[in-house]
Amino acid sequence: MKTMGKQGFGIVWLIVCMAAIAICVGAYFFFRSSTENTNSQKNVVNQETSTTLQPETKETKTKETAPGTTVKSGDSQFGSILFDGKGQAIYIWEVEDTKKAECYGDCAIAWPPVLTNGEPVASGDVKSELLGTTKRTDGTTQVTYNGHPLYYYAHEKPGEVKCHNISTHGGLWWVIQSNGKRAK
């Protein structure tokens, strides 16, 4: 058996060192590009979600707060009532005599809450001072009017009003007028 001399051992050692350097350089560039992508994604998120502290003015407040769900008045067979911005009729439930929502589970499937991601917006004869919000148990924000949580009926199309004065889920459902009272 032939033994490797000092020169052969040196060549093997040089190859091993060069391979180790190549692996380290490759790992550096791989992790560097991964970190840059992650940081640039974080910067995009931070730009979208962060706000700079500035003295609050009407202009800066408007920029920081996105408009919420529009509630407008419109004509129906029950007179002028509330609709959302797309023309979907809005209801209140007789069981709820405060702004605390009580319609969950099967009730909320049939009667989805009117939700908002910002301050609700009044349109037409709707009185902005009667618009408000309440937090639901799932953390979403529900629109209220004259202290009552607002709902849609799940099986209506925009412009339809099928369920005024209908009793389901333990109480009557009513469309609401811009004065804050239920329609007759």
pLDDT digits (tens, 9 = 90+) for 52-107: 334 444 444 444 567 899 999 999 999 999 999 999 999 999 999 999 999 999 99
Q: Reply yes or no on whether the pLDDT at 20 is more than 80.
A: no
User: Between these two residues, 48 and 122, which has the higher pLDDT value?
Assistant: 122
Task: Provide φ and ψ at 174, rounded to 5°.
Answer: -130, 145
Query: With pLDDT > 70 as the criterion, what percentage of the chain qualifies?
Result: 67
Task: Provide φ and ψ at 93, rounded to 5°.
Answer: -120, 130
Q: Would you give the DSSP letter of residue 77?
A: B
Residue where the block lists tokens 């003015």: 57
Alpha-carbon dihedral 156, 160, 164, 167, rounded to 10 degrees = -20
pLDDT value of position 43: 40
Q: Would you give the DSSP letter of residue 33?
A: H
CA distances from 93 to 12, 13, 98, 119, 181 (A): 84, 83, 10, 22, 12
Reported pTM: 0.65
35-54, pLDDT tens digit by residue?
444 444 434 333 333 333 34
Please give the Cα distance from 52 to 38 (Å, whole number). 22
The CB-side HSE value for 79 (13 A sphere, CA atoms) comes to 11
